Amino acid sequence: MPVIVIDANIEGQCSCIWMRLQSDVWREFTTALDVTFQTLAEAGLDPASSDDVIWRFCQANGHFLLTSNRNQEAEDSLETTIRREGTATSLPVFTLPNPDNVYQSDFLERVVEKLFDYVLNADNIRGTGRLYLP
């Protein structure tokens, strides 16, 4: 069961993605793959947790992280953590570089397609660090 943990700064955008995953077009596929989304709180994390804590939690629990965070400004930043602690078997972080674009139907559809592509190829994308949607 692929669990995708949603970073606090894109919960609204991810609710839009989740609604699309539940649409007539994608519902059967979502159900067959047993894909679930969890907010940080639903996953048991404090939404104010530092990036390194969130990344380590996701790695330890076999969860994907979906974020728009791309900075490398501090030692506990997501990018610094990925570069410092990532291995060939680490799960990648899915990144929405332009999260507000999910409100455009064509962009949203490409995000969903790419997300499923990544989930279906989970064993082949380990160690890539960060993968972008779409």
The pLDDT-based confidence of 95 (bands split at 50, 70, 90) is very high
DSSP assignment of 83-94: HHH--TTPPPEE
The pLDDT-based confidence of 71 (bands split at 50, 70, 90) is confident
Query: Which whole number is the average pLDDT over 100-115?
Result: 97
Parallel, antiparallel, or unpaired: how do β-strands 64-67 and 130-132 relate? unpaired
Q: Cα separation of 8 and 25, whole Å?
A: 27
Q: Which amino acid is at 79?
A: E
Query: Which whole number is the average pLDDT over 50-76?
Result: 92
Q: Where are the domains of the chain?
A: 3-132
Q: What is the pLDDT of residue 101?
A: 97
The pLDDT-based confidence of 69 (bands split at 50, 70, 90) is confident
Name the class of domain 3-132: alpha beta
pTM: 0.94
